Amino acid sequence: MKKSLIRNYAKLIARVGANIRPGQRVVIAAQTDQSAFVTLLAEECYRAGAAQVTCDWQDQALEKLASRFESVRELGAVTAWEEERLRERAQTLPVTIKLLSADPDGMQGADREKLMRAAQARSAITKPYTDSMTNRYQWCVAAVPSVGWAKKIFPAERSNTAVQRLWELILSVSRADGKDPLTDWMWHNRALRAACDKLNALHLTSLEYKSANGTDLRVGLIGQARFIAGKKATADGAPFNPNIPTEECFTTPKRGEAEGVVYAVKPLSYGGELIEDFWLRFEGGRAVDCGAARGEDLLRRILAMDEGAAYLGEAALVPYDSPVNRTGILFYNTLFDENACCHLALGRGYSNTVEGFASMGKDEFAALGVNDSSVHVDFMIGSEDLNIVGITETGARVPVFEHGTWSAALR
């Protein structure tokens, strides 16, 4: 892989994704096998004006060992220095870049019950800090190939070849392999914004999803919420692109207003394990039952993580013929697979979809119907024959998606 292409990708993450402003501090979260790209990205962050760049190193193998040998008490503990770091970051609001590269099967065999209980314990301490940062800082999630992830996608290839092929895919669907990725993203953001404008002009109150696989679901929408996409902004107006790649137009559904059954069309990789061929049934907005060919126990544990985990926090529209889906590749990574087709998310809703979010607080969001949870888990539901009908404030029924893509009225 040409180093110039990888450098352009790092530049895209720093300047378009995180949109670092002069004098800001930057924190990069990455796996320990990604030091070469982290070094390149850090240089681009400094060139963009960063005052300081640090890295929070993670290691999937060590996490799996910890799940085996440590007690729930130890795994769930938030040490004094960790809490102090959270407190300091909640005050200084560094730009945060997360690089995904973990093996989709890397945590298979880990004690999931222990990990879930530990995550609940940690969340009780960490969530107030992370909540206080919501909408106040720039962040970006992107991805870098690893051998484990690449071999999952290309099991018949040698390791070096598999990594090379995954690099090519990531750069392509991230619109980072052209001569001027920054300009390409400017036009991409404009196209996504135009699609959202058309959706918002409809003043929809609910969406009805139907496909031949059995999906038959109605999801209520929040009156003050809007569809947003691509470029976002903090409460003080700083723009950034939180996901590279992105193809979605999304909004926050109304808590308590989801009825019916929905079937996933792609596996869900969660915490280094896979959930496959699964479905969820909603009543009164809550997922009251589910099933899966693989990973059902994990799915049920996700739904039980906290009081809001079984409610919906996102409804995203992505054409079935998106660039990600056209690759024909299952990435086993939510960042990519969610941008292949329409998806929903369990758990935490996005408050920045609400008009006037900058001047609102947690209680006001809750009153509007924005769900709160310690988790946000996207799952893909967009089949080739998916039809979505939007219900307007006047009760009119408007085709939004037909046969897996935008209806004629919204193209």
Query: Which domains are delineated in the chain?
Result: 3-173 (3.40.1830.10), 203-410 (no CATH)
How far CA 328 is from CA of 90, 137, 384, 402, in Å, comes to: 41, 35, 13, 21
Q: Of 156, 124, 122, 161, whose CA–CA distance to 1 is shortest?
A: 161
Is the pLDDT at 358 greater than 90? The verdict is no
Q: Average of pLDDT values for 163-177?
A: 97
- Specify the pLDDT at position 272: 81
Is the pLDDT at 50 greater than 80? The verdict is yes
- Specify the pLDDT at position 151: 97
Q: Of 258, 355, 347, whose CA–CA distance to 309 is shortest?
A: 347
Is the pLDDT at 1 greater than 80? The verdict is no
Q: Average of pLDDT values for 192-219?
A: 97
Residues 364-391 pLDDT 10s: 999 999 999 999 999 999 999 999 999 9
- Specify the pLDDT at position 269: 87
Contact 318, 265 (CB under 8 A): no
Q: Average of pLDDT values for 29-48?
A: 98
Contact 308, 245 (CB under 8 A): no
Q: Which residues contact 371 (CB under 8 A, 6 or more apart)?
A: 252, 253, 255, 308, 311, 312, 313, 347, 348, 349
Per residue, the 3-state secondary structure of the chain, as one string, reads: CCHHHHHHHHHHHHHHHCCCCCCCEEEEEEEHHHHHHHHHHHHHHHHCCCCEEEEEEECHHHHHHHHHHCCHHHHCCCCHHHHHHHHHHHHHCCEEEEEECCCCCCCCCCCHHHHHHHHHHHHHHHHHHHHHHCCCCCEEEEECCCHHHHHHHCCCCCHHHHHHHHHHHHHHHCCCCCCCHHHHHHHHHHHHHHHHHHHHCCCEEEEEEECCCCCEEEEEECCCECCECCCEECCCCCEECCECCCCCEEECEEEEEEEEEEECCCCEEECCEEEEEEEEEEECCEEEEEEEEECHHHHHHHHCCCCCCCEEEEEEECCCCCHHHHCCCCCCCHHHHCCCCCEEEEECCCHHHECCHHHCCHHHHHHHCCCCCCCEEEEECCCCCCEEEEEECCCCEEEEEECCEECHHHC
Contact 386, 215 (CB under 8 A): yes
Residues 301-330 pLDDT 10s: 999 999 999 999 999 999 999 999 999 999
Residues 126-144 pLDDT 10s: 999 999 999 999 999 999 9
φ/ψ bin of 398: left (φ > 0), alpha (ψ from -120 to 50), beta (otherwise) = beta
pTM of the model: 0.92
Strand-pair category, 25-31 with 95-100: parallel
The winner for highest mean pLDDT among 60-69, 252-261, 269-278 is 252-261
Q: Of 239, 246, 242, 236, whose CA–CA distance to 97 is shortest?
A: 242
Please, is 173 exposed, middle or buried when counting C-beta atoms within 10 Å of its C-beta (0-12, 13-18, 19+)?
Answer: buried
C-alpha 262: how far from chain center:
19
- Specify the pLDDT at position 411: 83
Is the pLDDT at 341 greater than 90? The verdict is yes
pLDDT band at 108 (very low <50, low <70, confident <90, very high): confident
Q: Which residues contact 193 (CB under 8 A, 6 or more apart)?
A: 229, 230, 231
Q: For residue 47, what are its two tokens? A: 């060139």
Is the pLDDT at 69 greater than 80? The verdict is yes
Is the pLDDT at 271 greater than 90? The verdict is no
| Adjacent-strand bridge partners of 104 | none
Q: What is the rounded CA–CA span in Å between residue 235 and residue 112?
A: 37
Q: Average pLDDT of the chain?
A: 95
